[in-house]
Amino acid sequence: MMQAQVVNLKLPFFAAPLTSVPPLIIETERLILRAVGAGDGQLLFDLYANDLATSKYMSFKVTGRVDESEFFFFFFGDFFQGKNDVPIRQFSWIVREKSSGEFIGSAGFGPINDTTVSGGYILNRNFWGKGYASEMWKTLVQLLQADPGVKRIEAYHHPENPASGGVMKNAGMRCEGLRSKGSVYPNISDNCIPDMLYSWNRA
């Protein structure tokens, strides 16, 4: 059962379709998610962002340098603000295993237009195959489903990364098939690669 810490914050910037501030701390059966903040960059770098095998199919490039990783644009800022106080519209949580207290990965989402939110997740390899990604992504999907402003949730994965599709399916998303527009997977190619699209749509 998800327990969300209630915070009395107002959305500090335009974040449609979200109509409320996502919780800073979310508890699931086996995990604790807390909002990524300034100072988490090195931790996330060590957890996965410096490991090409883990981050191969992610949308950030593995450079071997924490300060060069575009990825950390999201994480050097606090929950609501990016570098130099430029607002970002990405909400990310760092995830901890309750039983050990260890950090295991992260997950997040951000609006891509006025109706739709898209998101993703990544775990340190030591924690794969335990259902953790499904547990955390399902929880974030439920959070978005509870926000009446959100009409559609999307997630994409590289065709050679089917485990990610399993996570989306476990969260109740439906496979729409190959998306010809695709995404850039910068650790593989500079060009867009067609990828698998999963979605949830409000009835």
Ligand X SMILES: CC(C)(COP(=O)(O)OP(=O)(O)OC[C@H]1O[C@@H](n2cnc3c(N)ncnc32)[C@H](O)[C@@H]1OP(=O)(O)O)[C@@H](O)C(=O)NCCC(=O)NCCS
* Contact residues: ligand X, CB under 6 A: 54, 57-58, 120-123, 128-134, 157, 161-164, 166-167, 170
Q: Rounded CA gap, 170 and 175, in Å?
A: 11
Which residue number places its CB atom closest to ligand X?
166
34 CB contacts (<8 Å, ≥6 apart)?
Answer: 24, 25, 26, 93, 94, 96
Nearer to ligand X, 18 or 155 (CB): 155
Inter-residue contact 188 to 198 (CB < 8 Å): no
Nearer to ligand X, 148 or 162 (CB): 162
Nearer to ligand X, 80 or 171 (CB): 171
Closest distance to ligand X from the beta carbon of 15 (Å): 22
What does residue 48 show for φ and ψ, rounded to 5 degrees?
A: -155, -30
Nearer to ligand X, 39 or 129 (CB): 129
Closest distance to ligand X from the beta carbon of 181 (Å): 15
Would you give the end-to-end CA distance of the chain in angstroms? 24
